[in-house]
A and B are shown apart, each in its own frame.
Chain A
Amino acid sequence: MKTVLVSLLLATSVVAQADIGSGSAPKRWENPGKNFVSPQWFAFELKFGPYTPALDSSDGLNGATPFRDLFTNQYAKQPQTVSPSLLTTLELDFQFWHKFGSFAVAASVGFYRKTTHSFQYSDASGTAPCVYGSCTRSGDTTALNVVPVALMLVYRFDVLALRYKVPLVPYAKLGLAYAAWFIQNGAGGIVSIPKPGGGTYDGYGGTFGFVVQPGLALLLDVIDPGTARAMDAEIGINHTYLFCELNYANMNGFGQSNRLNLSDTTLNAGLAFEF
C-alpha cells in the first residue's frame, strides 16, 4: 500500500513538475518534431472474427453431431452447417526486440458465446434423445461459452513501413493456447450429469492447443502523419494499424481423450496500437 501511494505521489509530482516547468512556454507536444519517435514496448490489439468450434469432431462422438443438431435448422432442405458467431479477442504484446522488425511475446484472451433452444426429450422421463429431424424445441435455451487464452511469440516485419514508407506490415504469431468452456442450461446454470459410478460430468472444462496466426497490417499513420505524430507525442501511441489475420487454432487437447474439440480456422480483423 505504501509503495503504491509513494508511486502515485511520485508520478503525480513528476507530472505536476512537468507542467510547472513548461510554464508559459509553447507546448511542444502540440507541434512535435517531424522525426519524433517515442520508445515503443507494447502493442494492444482488439480484434473480431467469426468462429465455429469443431465440437462435433470431439473425441468419443463417433460421428454424432450434437453441436450441429442443436445449432442448425433441422427442417432445412439442405444439410446445414453451424453459422459462426463472433469471437472477440484482446491481445497485449510486449515487444522486447526491435532490430529488423520486432519480436514480442503476446497474451490474448477472447470470448465466444452461442445460444439456441434446447430439444425436448422424446419421452417424459427424459432418457430418450430425440432423433434429429423430428425434434421439438424446448422453451429453455442452452449456450456454449468459450474463453480462449493464448501465449504467443510474435514477429512483425515492419521494416518496409518504418524505413521505406510502405504501409504494410506482415506478421506471424505462434503460441500455446488454452480454451476454457462452459455450457449453460435454460436456468443459466452449468449442466451436471451424474456418473454411473458416482460423481458427475460437469459442463465446463478446458482444452489445450496451439495457434498460428499469420496476418497483414495496414499502417494507418500514413493517412494523417501529423495526427500520428501528435498521438505519439501526447499519449505515446507510436503506430496504429488495421489488420487482418488468419487464425488457425488447433484446440483438441493435443489428441488427449475426453477433450472438447474447439479448433477452427478463421479470419480475424481489428485495430492494433503500438506504444
Chain B
Amino acid sequence: MHTPFLMRLSTVSLFVTLALGGVAHAQSAGSCMKVGSGMFGTITANVGLATQDPSGTGNITSVAPTSVPYVFGDAECQCKSATVYLQLQVLTTTLPVGATGTVEVWVGTGCDNYTTRTTSNQNQCYRLTALNGTTFQSFANGANNGGLFINIPVDATHLFSPGDGTCPQTINEARGIFVILVPSGAAPQTDYTLCSLNLTVVSQGASMVSPVTQSGDGAITLSWPPITSGVLPTSFQILCADANGDPVPSLQAKGYKQYYSTCIDGTLVRRTLPNSGSTTGVDLGTGSTDTPDLSGTSVPLTGTLGAEAQGNGNPDGGADVAAFAKTFDPRYLCSDNILAAAASSFSTRLTGLTNNTTYQFAVVSIDQYGNAVASDVVPGMPQPTEDLYHRYYNAGGRASGFCFVATAAYGSYESRWVRVLRDFRDEWLLPTPEGRVFVDWYYEHSPPAADWIAEHDTARRAVRVVLLPVIAVAAFLTYVSPIDKTLLAMALVAWLVWRGRRRVRLVGAVS
C-alpha cells in the first residue's frame, strides 16, 4: 500500500500543562512546534476544552474558543462528574485529504515516548481514550493540505490524578496531555512533533477564615476579618450546631440556600454565585438544594468539619475541602449568602438561640467556582445582656415614654388639631408594630401628664406652640397623597425659579 504519508512521521503529540487545584479554571493558549525530526510539513494546531459536546454527536467542525474557560470544582471531582471535551484541530501541509488513523490521548508525564506510555504504570501515563484509539479522517484544508478535528470526552478527574481518578491532594501540580495521531497502518512512532498547550489554573478555593464569637442576648455575633490575598471569596455562609454537633432546628428556618458545590451521597449539586448582589443561586447541575432532602440521619457538625477543624487547619484545597464537601449536610446552614464585598470585617448576629446554652459555629468561604472552605468550629454561648436602658433602669432611672398631650393642650378630644394627630395615629402609627407599641404606651402613661397640663394654662399654651410643627408634619404625611407631595415639591421649585427671575427683570427694568 502506497502511503507516502505513512512513510513519514505520523505521530503528533500535544503537550498540555495543567496546574491543578480544588478547581480548575482553564484557559488555553496553544501552539505547535516540531520536535526532533518530525516529518510533518508546516503544522498549525489548536486545542481547547469544552463543557459540552458542541454537536452532541461527537463531531465538531471547530475547536472551542480557547478564551472560554471551563470550570469544575472540587465537588465535581469528588462526584466523578467532571467530564470535559478535549478538542483538537491539526492542520498540516502534508496530511493527505482522506487519510485515516486513530487518535490516542494520554495523560501523565513523558507520554510522548512510546516505551514510557506503554510500559509505565497508569499513574505515570494514563490512556484517556479507548484502547484502540479514536478513529479520524482528515479533511481538505485548502489545496493539497489535510487536517482533522477531534472531539474526545475525557474524565477530568484523570487530568488531576492519572490512572486512579482521585481528586488532588495538593495544588499546583503539572500534568501533560498527549494526543497522538497514528495513521492507519503506521507503527507506533518515536519520531514525533510536539505541540504545547498551556492551561492556567486560577483557583483552588478561598482561604479559611478564623471567626470569633461574642455572646449576645439570645444571640451570638460571629465576626471574622476579610480575606485579602490569594483566592478571594465571593461569599460566606455560616453553619450552626448545638453542643453535640447536631443541627439546630430553630436556626434552620432561615432556609437552605447553599451557594457552593457539594457532592452528597454521590450526587453532585452545583451552584454558582449570583451576579450583582442577588441572593438567588443559579442551579448549574443536578440536585437542586432549594428544598433539600432532610430525611435520614444528619452528620454531626464536628464530624462534618472534623478534617478541617481537627486537622492541620491548612485550607489547602485538598483533603480538607474534600472531606468537608463530601459530608456536608445542609441542615447546618444557618445564614443566607453573605456577599464578600470589600469590607473591613464581617459580622453577623445569629438570633433565636437560648441563653446559657453552648452552640458551635463555622464560617464557610466560597470562591467563584463554588468551592467551599470551612473554618474551624468555634463555640459560643448566648448570655443575657445589660443594654443602656437596662443599666439605666437598674440604677434607678424610670424615664419612659413621650409626652404628647394634645388633648390637654387644646382642651378637647374633638379639636381639629387633635383630630389631625388621631388620624396620624390611625394611618401611620397603628399599622406598624413600633407604632402600636408607642400608642399602647401613650394611652397607658399620658393621662397624669395630660391632667397636669390641663390644670396649668401656661403649660397648655406652651405645649400648643410646640405641637404646631408636629401637627403640621402629621397633617402633611396624613392628608397629602404621594402624587400631591411630588406636585407640591415641583410647584415649590417652579415658584422659586420664577420668583428669582421675576425679581431680576423688575430690577433690570428699574435700572
**Interface of A toward B, CB cutoff 8 Å:** 1, 4-5, 7-8, 11-12, 14-15, 18, 22, 28-29, 32-33, 35-36, 38-39, 55, 58-62, 64-67, 69-70, 107, 116, 118-121, 124-126, 129-130, 137-140, 142-144, 149, 151, 176, 178, 180, 183-187, 190-193, 199-208, 232-236, 258-260
Interface centre among B396, B398, B441, B470 (most CB of A within 10 A): B398
The answer to whether B466 has its CB under 8 Å from any CB of chain A is: yes
Cα-based distance from A235 to B438 in the complex (angstroms) = 42
Q: Across the two chains, which residue of chain B brings its CB closest to A63?
A: B395
6 closest A-B pairs by beta carbon, nearest first, are: A139-B214, A126-B384, A64-B395, A139-B221, A142-B387, A29-B504
Residues of A contacting B220 in the complex (Cβ-Cβ under 8 angstroms): 139
Decide: A140 and B395 in contact? CB cutoff 8 A. no
Cα-based distance from A32 to B465 in the complex (angstroms) = 41
Known: A15-B494, A126-B384, A190-B434. 12 other contacts (CB 8 A): A8-B491, A58-B392, A64-B396, A70-B388, A138-B386, A151-B465, A180-B402, A186-B216, A208-B403, A232-B500, A236-B500, A258-B398
- Give the secondary structure class of A's interface: mixed
**Interface of B toward A, CB cutoff 8 Å:** 213-217, 219-221, 349, 351, 355-356, 383-403, 434, 437-438, 441, 444, 462, 465-466, 468-470, 481, 483-484, 487-488, 490-491, 494-505, 507-508, 510-511
Residues of B contacting A124 in the complex (Cβ-Cβ under 8 angstroms): 355-356, 383-384
Cα-based distance from A35 to B510 in the complex (angstroms) = 11
Q: How far is the CB of B120 from chain A (nearest CB, A)?
A: 59
Decide: A11 and B498 in contact? CB cutoff 8 A. yes
Q: Across the two chains, which residue of chain B brings its CB closest to A6?
A: B491
Residues of B contacting A1 in the complex (Cβ-Cβ under 8 angstroms): 481, 483-484
* Contacts A/B (CB < 8 Å), 21 sampled: A14-B494, A15-B497, A35-B507, A38-B499, A39-B503, A55-B392, A64-B395, A66-B394, A118-B388, A121-B386, A124-B355, A139-B219, A139-B220, A149-B469, A151-B469, A176-B466, A178-B403, A186-B349, A190-B437, A191-B389, A232-B500
Residues of A contacting B399 in the complex (Cβ-Cβ under 8 angstroms): 58-60, 205, 207, 258-260
Cα-based distance from A11 to B351 in the complex (angstroms) = 54
Residues of B contacting A234 in the complex (Cβ-Cβ under 8 angstroms): 500-501, 504
Q: Of A11, A59, A66, A176, which one neighbours B391 at CB under 8 angstroms?
A: A66
Cα-based distance from A178 to B502 in the complex (angstroms) = 40
Residues of A contacting B221 in the complex (Cβ-Cβ under 8 angstroms): 139-140, 186
In the complex, the number of residue pairs spanning A and B with C-beta atoms less than 8 Å apart equals 243
Residues of A contacting B488 in the complex (Cβ-Cβ under 8 angstroms): 4
Cα-based distance from A165 to B246 in the complex (angstroms) = 79
Decide: A235 and B496 in contact? CB cutoff 8 A. yes
Cα-based distance from A4 to B503 in the complex (angstroms) = 24
Decide: A120 and B500 in contact? CB cutoff 8 A. no
Q: Of B437, B469, B496, B497, which one neighbours A107 at CB under 8 angstroms?
A: B469
Decide: A120 and B384 in contact? CB cutoff 8 A. yes
Q: Across the two chains, which residue of chain B brings its CB closest to A205?
A: B401
Cα-based distance from A65 to B397 in the complex (angstroms) = 10
Decide: A36 and B503 in contact? CB cutoff 8 A. yes
Decide: A119 and B401 in contact? CB cutoff 8 A. no
Residues of B contacting A28 in the complex (Cβ-Cβ under 8 angstroms): 504-505, 507-508
Q: How far is the CB of B447 from chain A (nearest CB, A)?
A: 13
Decide: B438 and A204 in contact? CB cutoff 8 A. yes
Residues of B contacting A70 in the complex (Cβ-Cβ under 8 angstroms): 388, 391
Q: How far is the CB of A179 from chain B (nearest CB, A)?
A: 11
Decide: A140 and B217 in contact? CB cutoff 8 A. yes
Residues of A contacting B438 in the complex (Cβ-Cβ under 8 angstroms): 204
Q: Of B349, B392, B444, B494, which one neighbours A66 at CB under 8 angstroms?
A: B392
Cα-based distance from A169 to B461 in the complex (angstroms) = 32
Decide: A139 and B462 in contact? CB cutoff 8 A. no
Decide: B386 and A118 in contact? CB cutoff 8 A. yes
Q: How far is the CB of A29 from chain B (nearest CB, A)?
A: 4
Decide: A61 and B395 in contact? CB cutoff 8 A. yes
Q: How far is the CB of A7 from chain B (nearest CB, A)?
A: 5
Cα-based distance from A142 to B385 in the complex (angstroms) = 10
Residues of A contacting B390 in the complex (Cβ-Cβ under 8 angstroms): 118, 129, 191, 193
Tell whether A120 pairs with B498 under 8 Å between CB atoms, given A18-B505, A204-B401, A233-B504.
no
Cα-based distance from A104 to B216 in the complex (angstroms) = 49
